Each structure stands twice: as C-alpha cells, then as structure tokens.
Structure 1
Amino acid sequence: MSVQLTREQFYAQQPQITRSLRELYEASTQQLDERLVCLVLLRSSQLNGCAFCLHMHDEHARRVGETPDRLAQIAAWHEARCFSERERAALAWTDALTQLAIHAPSEAQRAQLAEHFSVEERVNLSALIVTINSWNRFAVGFSFTPGE
C-alpha cells in the first residue's frame, strides 16, 4: 500500500471536493484583478510551504503579466515598494487569514481592507484565501509534486 497519494488519485477519490473547490475559486475571483489573485495565491502558498501551488501560481502570474521582480518580492511585501496600497491591503489580509493560529485579523487590517475593497470584493478576497488555504493543505498533506 502506497502512502504517497497522487493528484489523480485525490481527484478520483472525491471528485465533488475538487469540483466544489474549483467552483469556490471561480466564484471568489469575480471582480478581482487576475494579477492580484495571483499575488494572493502565491503569498498564501509561501506561508503554507506549498511548493506545488507556488510552482503552479508562479507560472500563472507570469502568463498574466506579473514581473519576475515583483514575484521575487512577495515574501518581503511588507518592505517592498513595488506593491500598490490595494495590493498591500490584500497581502496583509492574506497573511492574517492564513495565519489565524498566530494572530486574528486586527481592526486596523479590517479598516485597511475596507479602504481599498468594496464589501463584495472583501468577501470574494476572503473566499479566495479560504480556497487557496484548502488547496495548500491537500497539496502539502499529500505531497503533490511541483510541475506534476
């Protein structure tokens, strides 16, 4: 009996889970710029140590016009000057929701988010973060291979 679970085995075992996560992703990305979506996906995947998702979303980000310089600075976005205030608010929210066990989102983070995103966008952004955190946990938990 193999302890390694391939993506194909995962998908075949519970197709409804895969379908539901894809539907949540599709719904959550409405009204959000695709480059911003990529930044959020990459940041959450960095925090969760998900090599599979980092590989996949880095390729996606480059396809939609994200620059290698900005991609290299996501890990240090707090001090990087290449991100807009809107992007910084999204990245701060990503950090907060991805690291709930360390600290809950602050009132200042909620205010920063509200300054740059509508209510619907905040819900969509939060759902996107929930989605990538779910995918990260499956990919890391089952050791999905980057580039697979």
Structure 2
Amino acid sequence: MTNERRVHLSRSAPPAYQALSAFSKTVGGISAEAGIDDRLKELVQIHTSQLNGCAYCVRVHVERAEKAGVTLDTIAQLPVWRDSGVFTERERAGLELAEAFAFIAEDGISDDVYDRVGGILSEQEYVALSWILVSINAFNRIAIAGRYAVPPRDDLAGEDRDAAAGRAW
C-alpha cells in the first residue's frame, strides 16, 4: 500500500499532534505514579495496535518493549495470551482491558470485564491503563488513516527512528 496520496496528519497539523504528544506524556506520568511498569505498558499498547491493525504502532511498541526487557517469545504470545502461561495476572487484566478498549464500540466496557479487571488492578492502575489505552487508540487511528510506512527494521528513518526512541510520542 502506498501512502503517497495520503495526508500525514502529524505533519499537516503539527499543533494537534504536539497536543496529543503532550497528552501522551501526561498519561505516562499518571501511569508511572500508579506503578504501571514499562513491561505492562508496552504489552497493552502492542496488543491494542495488533487488534486495530496498526503496523506502525506495533513496530514502535515492540522496539520499546524490547528495550524494557520484554522477550520476543512474550511478544509472540500476545495474540494467544489467554492460552499462554507467560503473562502475570496483572498483565492478563491489562490485556483484557486493552481488548475492551479496542472494541469499545461493540460492548463498551462490560460489567464483567470491569469487575474482573477491577478485582485484580487497583483503581489507580485501572485509571492509568485506561488512559494509556485511550492514547494508543488515538495514535493507531492517526497512523492507520495516513497509512504510515513501516520500513524494514534496520531501516528506521526520520519519524520512525524518533518514535522508536520515544521522542515523537
């Protein structure tokens, strides 16, 4: 798929993208205060991006997850997390919440999911993860709408390199 005829939203309206980037940094602070570690934060963002079909954001968050010490085996288990033994109870709660947010138009956050996840995570952790999921869903939509390119891993250039290093968002 080519993106030559697509508007690149972050370049076309820098103030809006900068505001979203600032929002994302605020969310990062909230998640750190709530005790959400980088492993959990990256796992839910990778899984959300997979569910939304955002190859660009999958790339960015796999890079960040690896830097946070998440193994490729663990990342490979994300699509089958319910049947995998590599995730903690907190991570399973986060992944279930990620799915609810990705498909929020279908059922919202059902009482079952809310109660199950809320029985594992503190209110502060639930709030922080929810804001992380709001943020990644927004970034997914920007990248998908613009068909942001995903070059080979050894060819990260410009914005891809910045995003992978955490500078772009």
Mapped partners of 1:13, 1:3: distance in 2: 22
Match of 1:66 in 2: 70
Correspondence 1:26 to 2:28? yes
Is 1:27–1:124's contact at 8 Å kept on the other side of the alignment? no
Give aligned-pair identity as a percent. Answer: 30
Is 1:24–1:131's contact at 8 Å kept on the other side of the alignment? no
Q: What RMSD over aligned residues (CA atoms) do the two structures have, in Å?
A: 2.0
Correspondence 1:91 to 2:90? no
Structure 1 consecutive aligned stretches of length 4 or more whose deviation exceeds 6 Å: none
What is the TM-score with the length of structure 2 in the denominator? 0.78
Which consecutive residues of structure 2, in runs of 5 or more, have no partner in the other structure? 151-155, 161-169
Give, in angstroms, the shift of residue 48 of structure 1. Answer: 0.6
Give, in angstroms, the shift of residue 3 of structure 1. Answer: 2.8
Which consecutive residues of structure 1, in runs of 5 or more, have no partner in the other structure? none
What amino acid is aligned across from residue 79 of structure 1 in structure 2? D
Match of 2:107 in 1: 103
Correspondence 1:4 to 2:24? no
Is 1:28–1:125's contact at 8 Å kept on the other side of the alignment? no
Give, in angstroms, the shift of residue 103 of structure 1. Answer: 2.2
SS at match of 2:107: coil
* Residues 32-51 of structure 1: pairs in structure 2 closer than 5 A: 32-51=36-55
Mapped partners of 1:122, 1:101: distance in 2: 19
Change (3 A) 1:71 1:142: same
Mapped partners of 1:28, 1:11: distance in 2: 26
Mapped partners of 2:66, 2:13: distance in 1: 26
Mapped partners of 1:21, 1:84: distance in 2: 28
Give, in angstroms, the shift of residue 4 of structure 1. Answer: 2.5
Picking from 146, 149, 156, the partner of 1:145 is: 149
Mapped partners of 2:145, 2:132: distance in 1: 20
Change (3 A) 1:63 1:108: same
Mapped partners of 2:12, 2:23: distance in 1: 13
Picking from 133, 137, 140, the partner of 1:133 is: 137
Mapped partners of 1:127, 1:32: distance in 2: 12
Give, in angstroms, the shift of residue 33 of structure 1. Answer: 0.8
Give, in angstroms, the shift of residue 96 of structure 1. Answer: 0.6
Is 2:27–2:128's contact at 8 Å kept on the other side of the alignment? no
Mapped partners of 1:8, 1:108: distance in 2: 37
Match of 1:17 in 2: 19
What is the TM-score with the length of structure 1 in the denominator? 0.88
